[in-house]
Amino acid sequence: MIKNFNPERLLQVLVAPQVSEKATYIADKNEQVVFIVTPDATKPEVKAAVEMLFKVEVKSVQIANLKGKFKRAGRNIGRRSDVRKAFVCLKPGQEINFAEGGAA
């Protein structure tokens, strides 16, 4: 499945892992990992990128688009940028450990 995609594109799809209490809870309970991805990333691209970079098998991918919040500082009103998150469900027995810098 990875051979259908441009390897340079796959390196740019994943922006960063989401490290938070909620992401850790999801990882422990559902064997899912949360990534921030580019706004134009598709589910097959995210799956191929995770499999290529971390050498794990991916069962499914869910994607959520989060709208940026409006924030103000005094009279100035600004807006945070929108974020696209990918919830990657790994097959049983698969694990990604970010503390070691790769697949476990």
Name the pTM for this structure. Answer: 0.82
Tokens 């499914």 locate to: 60
Q: Quick one: residue 33, left, alpha or beta (phi over 0 = left, psi -120 to 50 = alpha)? A: beta
Please name the amino acid found at residue 97: N
Of 57, 61, 28, 30, whose CA–CA distance to 46 is shortest? 61
Alpha helices in the chain (DSSP H): 7-13, 21-30, 43-54
CA 61 to chain centre: 9
Q: How far apart are CA 82 and CA 91, in angstroms?
A: 29
Q: 2-92, superfamily in CATH?
A: RRM (RNA recognition motif) domain (3.30.70.330)
Which tens digits make up the pLDDT trace of 9-23?
Answer: 899 999 999 988 998
Mean pLDDT, residues 35-42 taken together: 94
Q: Strand, helix or coil at 94? A: coil
Percent of the chain with pLDDT over 70: 90
Going by the DSSP 8-state scheme, the letter that residue 2 receives in this structure is: G
Mean pLDDT, residues 46-59 taken together: 92
Give the CA radius of gyration of the chain.
15
